[in-house]
Amino acid sequence: MLKGKTIVVGVTGGIAAYKSVILVSELKKQGANVHVVMTKNATEFVTPLTFETRSGNRCISDMFERNFEYDVKHISLAKAADLIIVAPATANFIAKAAHGIADDMLTTVILAAKCPKLVAPAMNTAMYENPATQDNLKKIQEYGFEVIEPNEGLLACGDEGKGKMPEPSELLEHILYALTEKDMQGLSVLVTAGPTQEAIDPVRYITNHSSGKMGYEIAHAAAMRGADVTLVSGPTALSVPLNVSRVDITSSADMYDAVVQRAPKTDMLFKAAAVADYTPADPADHKLKKSDDELSIPLTRTRDILAEVGANKKAGQIICGFAMETEDLLKNARAKLEKKNLDMICANSLRTEGAGFAGDTNVVTLITKDETIELGKLTKLETAHRILDKALEIRK
Ligand code: CTP
């Protein structure tokens, strides 16, 4: 995703500097051209050689070093950067950035750069909470910096509290979000994901193999593109994507309530959840004891949430369903599109290699009123972006 992008990673003097080595590796893996600029204090924690090895570029820490690639390095680096992230950012660095002080290479590059600038503060809780630091953080936000909130936990100094730098994977997410075009800004998006659990008794339930990955990636991609995203999720092991608000549900009845209540205020609805079609008619309120007899559990139909929102679709709203089939994929999926009054249905066959529940790839065919588009095998995130592209196109 970062192919062709130049990312400057600023490293200041904090113990979290070691985590930035992993961040640099991840950025490289994503195809970015990474330049690391260190403050003098940062070199006490991690050597420039470590960053040079990981980035494949010279690491800069000395403002007056003569052995450099570009002419006026701080200006050329500031111009070349598509994004700058300072991680970890000390209170001292933040104070300098808030006051336009440029007394080393990093602060000079920062002052000269016009690209998006991200700052990940990492310090002792008392330093972080100090009104001077808080004022400085407010100030740099006013200047257009994005401040990545530190996590809470056990700090290197032994104190517990706020001040831990987020993990490299979280920082990478902030970078990807910052570099993604915000073509869904102002849109309210509702996504459903995961399985439902239908109680038989307080101990057992009926469910399915849905991992929730496809729905989570749609929520992820829409949030990256600036939409206001709510994810109604059945039980999954997945973590909530950045800037997505998650509503946890268990049964199809819970999902019905969560979706039907929100649907009228939603511009786009993606129903990737694998909702149970049947639920135990009379779940026991105590644990059922086994006997020597066979057991039959009467099931009743659940309410079809997608059909309900399709029937009450408001003007301009885009509704997208999902169909996982084992036979007659396209025919069955198109029938669902029409029956449920959808704008699009994403069809995938459980029998196709690279598609299905647990994996990170999918093989989806997008079916709209007048098109059938085979996306081929893509990661679930890429598939999500293609689904959103189509939804935006239909909305025009
Ligand atoms: N869906 C729903 N509410 C239900 C059941 C399904 O909203 N009670 C939605 C799913 O989220 C998905 C689509 O409907 O977007 C799936 O269509 P559906 O016809 O229910 O497919 P299956 O459940 O697989 O049923 P069938 O046996 O008809 O293939």
Region of 4 on the Ramachandran plot (φ > 0 left; ψ -120 to 50 alpha; else beta):
left
> Which residues have any ligand 1 atom within 6 Å of their CB?
192, 252, 271, 273, 275, 277, 302, 304-306, 321-323, 336
Among 214, 184, 187, smallest CA distance to 383 is for 214
Q: Which of 218, 268, 277, 366 to mutate to test the pocket of ligand 1 (most atoms within 8 A of CB)?
A: 277
- DSSP-derived secondary structure for 236-288: -SPPPPTTEEEEE--SHHHHHHHHHHHGGG-SEEEE--B--SEEESS--SSPP
Looking from the CA of residue 259, the nearest atom of ligand 1 is 7
Rounded CA separation 178/100 (Å): 23
How do residues 346-367 score in pLDDT, each as one tens digit?
Answer: 998 888 888 878 888 999 999 9
C-alpha of residue 59 to centroid of ligand 1, in Å: 54
How do residues 166-192 score in pLDDT, each as one tens digit?
Answer: 999 999 999 999 999 999 999 999 999
Catalytic residue (choose from 59, 115, 157, 320): 157
Q: Is 320 a catalytic residue?
A: no
How do residues 223-253 score in pLDDT, each as one tens digit?
Answer: 999 999 999 999 999 999 999 999 999 999 9
Predicted TM-score (pTM) of the model is 0.93
Nearest residue (by CA) to ligand 1, atom 6, is 275
Band of the pLDDT at 67, cuts 50, 70, 90? low
Looking from the CA of residue 320, the nearest atom of ligand 1 is 15
Please state the rounded mean pLDDT for residues 204-221.
97
Give the 3-state secondary structure of residue 192: strand
